[in-house]
Amino acid sequence: MAGPSYLQSIGTESTGHKDTLKDHIVDKLIENVLSVSLPSSTAVQSNDVLNNTIEKPAIPSDEPDFSLSILASNLRKLNARTGLLLILPATISHILSWHQPTLTLSMLMLYSYICFYPFLLSALPALLVLVGVLIPGYDYRHPSSQNLLPARFYKHNSVIEAETERLEIQEMIEVQLKRQKAENEKVLVERLRDLQNRLGRLVEAFDKLEHFVNHVGSFKDERRASATYLFLMMLIFSTTYFASFVPPHLAILSLGWIIVVYSHPVIKVKVQKFLKNYFEQESVVVTAIKSLEKTEVIIDFEPEEREVELFELQRVGLTPRQWVPWLYTPIIYEPQSPLRKRHARPPGTRFLEDAQPPIGWFFKEDEPWVLDTKTKGWVSQRGIRFVELDLENSWAYDYKDDERGEWRRRRWVRKCYSYGCS
């Protein structure tokens, strides 16, 4: 990853001007984004599935190759054009917050009218452009005569009075500009705070979704996954049956009214207080799934159990007594290994905690990796030659011509389980 100085030199050569503070901040942001944008180890299997199932579109030949300077320039341009993206959520929040009750009720009436006459949705895009863009733009460009204040004329008796009045007007303008600047800074801080909180909630939602997919969806917890499957099947049949008796426009209308009325500050506080006093913190869905898990789900077979192994490879450092950690790999990487002969790097991970089980299998959190202290057993079982054993520390060194070689390795094992193979 290139450092900030490299990004700064690119911007200097491309524009010929000194980078501003804003450009420097954007460059550092790009560097941090690129440094953390690599997929995590928990998403490796999902990425493999996507790469195998989704056809990648062909890259047009007329598009430029990857360049940090182009990426930084596009992000700066995008940042300068995101005003409309801030206006839309701010407008929706203003309507739902009941700060202007007449506006909220007017939007509810319009929403109700559209629910009963859905064909009006065809005119909604054109109406939004007229009301939200063209009409305000025309009023701003051609203000009505009522908005124009009459000019004030003064007869000054002396030059001193005229100069005094000019200074007073200038002072009023400076005070107003300072007040406007303070208000703008306050609004900016509030918007950044809202953006921070929304991003936090979005990250939390993604974490919950990832936990559901990786734990419940993959049947790591067999009981919870089976209870969730049973609950969703019951929910599908019950909702489709009862929904056939409810007109769609009434259901959509009721949902919209419930959301808007619940957003009222007074009603929201009362509803939350009522739920806190008379209902448990745990949601009804989770309670129902746990009830099904206890009463209806019976797991009458044990998962298949196997043992996986990884070899910790270390390379000799500057001195024969110094060893540098290299990676954890399922390859022994002994002198007769084909990868070793080709001087190729074996597949693996740098940290033991990042190692994942095979597809369709899972690890138990209470069963960590264990060091295999029987080094002589796995070495003789595989018929490995030209090694020296350190039975005290479980290492197997390369050994040739009465000297230790460049590599040493030791074996780690862990149990993995699978329900699908039973």
87-124 residue pLDDT tens: 777 788 888 888 888 988 988 998 898 888 888 888 88
pLDDT for the residue 412: 96
pLDDT for the residue 292: 77
Q: Are residues 231 and 311 in the same domain?
A: no
Q: Are residues 410 and 316 in the same domain?
A: yes
pLDDT for the residue 371: 95
Q: Report residues of the chain scoring pLDDT below 50.
A: 1-19, 38, 41-51, 53-54, 148-156, 421-422
pLDDT for the residue 417: 86
Q: Are residues 237 and 383 in the same domain?
A: no
Considering the domain boundaries, does residue 372 fall inside one?
yes
The domain boundary residue, chosen from 246, 262, 293: 246
Considering the domain boundaries, does residue 274 fall inside one?
no
CA distances in angstroms from 130 to 107, 134, 370, listed in the order given: 16, 5, 69
Considering the domain boundaries, does residue 326 fall inside one?
yes
Considering the domain boundaries, does residue 362 fall inside one?
yes
The domain boundary residue, chosen from 196, 227, 246: 246
The 10s digit of each residue's pLDDT in 128-155 is 888 878 888 888 787 765 554 444 444 4
Cα 68 to chain centroid distance, Å, stands at 22
Q: Are residues 80 and 221 in the same domain?
A: yes
CA distances in angstroms from 378 to 59, 243, 319, listed in the order given: 49, 63, 28
Q: Are residues 133 and 240 in the same domain?
A: yes
Q: Are residues 184 and 86 in the same domain?
A: yes
pLDDT for the residue 301: 67
Considering the domain boundaries, does residue 285 fall inside one?
no
Q: Which residues contact 155 (CB under 8 A, 6 or more apart)?
A: none
Q: Are residues 207 and 321 in the same domain?
A: no
Predicted TM-score (pTM) of this structure: 0.46
Total number of domains in the chain: 2
The domain boundary residue, chosen from 198, 216, 246: 246
Angle between helix 265-278 and helix 248-262 axes, rounded to 10 deg: 90
Considering the domain boundaries, does residue 323 fall inside one?
yes
3-class secondary structure per residue, the chain? CCCHHHHHHHHHHHHCCCCCHHHHHHHHHHHHHHHHCCCCHHHHHHHHHHHHHCCCCCCCCCCCCCCHHHHHHHHHHHHHCCHHHHHHHHHHHHHHCCCCHHHHHHHHHHHHHHHHCHHHHHHHHHHHHHHHHHHHHHHHHCCCHHHCCCCCCCCCCCHHHHHHHHHHHHHHHHHHHHHHHHHHHHHHHHHHHHHHHHHHHHHHHHHHHHHHHHHHCCCCCHHHHHHHHHHHHHHHHHHHHHHCCCCHHHHHHHHHHHHHHHCCHHHHHHHHHHHHHHCCCCCHHHHHHHHHHHHCCCCCCCCEEEEEEEEEEEEECCCCCCEEEEEEECCCCCCCCHHHHCCCCCCCECCHHHCCCCCCCECCCCCCCEECCCHHHHHHHHCCCCEEEECCCCEEEEEECCEEEEEEEEEEEEEEEECCCC
Phi-psi domain of 386 (left: phi exceeds 0; alpha: psi -120 through 50; beta: other): left
Considering the domain boundaries, does residue 77 fall inside one?
yes
Give the separation between CA 153 and CA 150, rounded to whole angstroms: 10
Q: Are residues 319 and 239 in the same domain?
A: no
Q: Are residues 236 and 352 in the same domain?
A: no
Considering the domain boundaries, does residue 256 fall inside one?
no
Q: Are residues 388 and 242 in the same domain?
A: no
Residue 94 phi, psi (nearest 5) = -65, -40
Query: Which residue range forms the structural domain that includes residue 398?
Result: 304-418
Q: Are residues 204 and 316 in the same domain?
A: no
Q: Are residues 344 and 221 in the same domain?
A: no
